[in-house]
Chains A and B, each alone.
Chain A
Amino acid sequence: QVQLQESGPGLVKPSETLSLSCTVSGGSISIYYWSWIRQSPGKGLEWIGFIDHNENTNYNPSLKSRVIISVDTSKNQFSLKLNSVTAADTAVYFCARGCCGADYYFDYWGQGTLVTVSS
């Protein structure tokens, strides 16, 4: 059974960089795609971006200038960096596995981690 677990600071100061990691267990990170998705309090879901094991990335155009997603296959982990954060970046951040074929859907999710941007 594939499991994903987010980790990282729960509080980030405005203008600083939000950094999160997602550890994948029960399966190899060297196949499929790996995404970050966020959900602001009381709001809907927003896709941030995805990466594959060859480090090919695609980002939401609205966040592209501030986002970097990377992968470490030796640790079965992938990571998110979002720079120059503001209060609007306060959200629950989920990591998820993307699958399959011509479509792209999220079949496994982490439990989510709340990141608050505040001084």
Chain B
Amino acid sequence: DIQMTQSPSSLSASVGDRVTITCQASQDINNYVNWYQQKPGKAPKLLIYDASNLETGVPSRFSGSGYGTDFTLTISSLQPEDIATYYCQQYDHLPPSITFGQGTRLEIK
């Protein structure tokens, strides 16, 4: 099974900061990585799919990059409404399986 190692597990930053969250896959997964934002008591929300594609309606301050084993979610200028937990997710074809990273809790300093 492919493992996803997400870091950091928690992060404190100031409004306006550039924030970066990383996920490392245990083997090459092309660009099959997706990123979600989850606020307390809510379902996760898709932010980025196929490593770098911004989901419709998601602010452009969110971006994703990476290919193979190393992936990054970046928030270019942190806003108060970005306080949430962020998860990466990978899809493996053979056999079909889906794994989430452990999550990154983002707080405002």
Interface residues in chain A, defined as those with a beta carbon under 8 Å from any beta carbon in chain B:
35, 44-47, 50, 58, 60-61, 94, 96, 101-107, 109-112
| One of B49, B95, B99 near A105 (C-beta < 8 A) | B49
Given A45-B36, A104-B91, 6 other A-B residues pairs in contact with their CB atoms under 8 A: A47-B99, A58-B95, A103-B49, A103-B91, A105-B46, A112-B43
**B residues 33-73 touching A (CB-CB < 8 Å):** 34, 36, 42-46, 49-50, 55
Name the A residues within 8 Å of B99 (CB-CB): 47
Decide if B80 is an interface residue (CB 8 Å cutoff).
no
Cα A104 to Cα B46 with chains together (Å)? 12
Name the B residues within 8 Å of A105 (CB-CB): 34, 46, 49-50, 89, 91
Interface residues in chain B, defined as those with a beta carbon under 8 Å from any beta carbon in chain A:
1, 30-32, 34, 36, 42-46, 49-50, 55, 87, 89, 91, 93, 95-103
* Given A104-B32, A107-B55: A44 in contact with B49 (beta carbons within 8 A): no
B98 and A47: CB pair below 8 A? yes
